[in-house]
Amino acid sequence: MTAVIDGDTIEVVRRSQHDIVRLLGVDTPETHHPTKPVECFGPEASAFSTHYLLGQLVDLEDDVEHRDIYGRRLAYVFLGGRLFNDVLLRHGLARLLVIAPNRAHGRDFLDSELFARHQKRGLWAKCGDE
């Protein structure tokens, strides 16, 4: 993993090919959107992803769709056998964003978001339900 663009978008290199990957099932607050300001807890989500992913070997798991309308690869990201998308939700660094037909981990993701909300973790403590 070579770069974190924001909390839910990373750059990976595979066989000398760079690819931008959008993490499926999660939406972290914005930090680099061309038309939106930096959102509450966006910098923290980006810093978390950078801390855990930068320079690490990750595994990618596809779902039904492989690319979004911006050409980014859509994937679930595994780090050391753990589903990083779910880690973001469980720590309150992302909101659930399951868009059909990509819903392989949707039920688990919902459970993780509800846990973070109940525990008032991350953005659920600082940002409310905005």
**Are 123 and 39 within 8 A, CB to CB?**
no
The helix or strand, by DSSP H or E, that contains position 87, with its residue range, turns out to be helix 84-90
Identity of the residue numbered 27:
D
Q: Is the dihedral of CA 7, 8, 13, 14 positive or negative?
A: positive
Strand partners, 87: none
Would residue 119 be called left, alpha or beta, if left means φ above 0 and alpha means ψ between -120 and 50 degrees? alpha
Q: Is 117 a catalytic residue?
A: no
SS3 state at 7: coil
Active-site pick, 44, 72, 95, 113: 72
Catalytic residue at 73?
no
- Of the candidates 61, 98, 65, which has an alpha carbon nearest to the alpha carbon of residue 83? 61
The catalytic residue among 11, 14, 15, 30 is: 30
From 22, 73, 90, 117, the catalytic residue:
22
Enzyme catalytic residues? 22, 30, 72
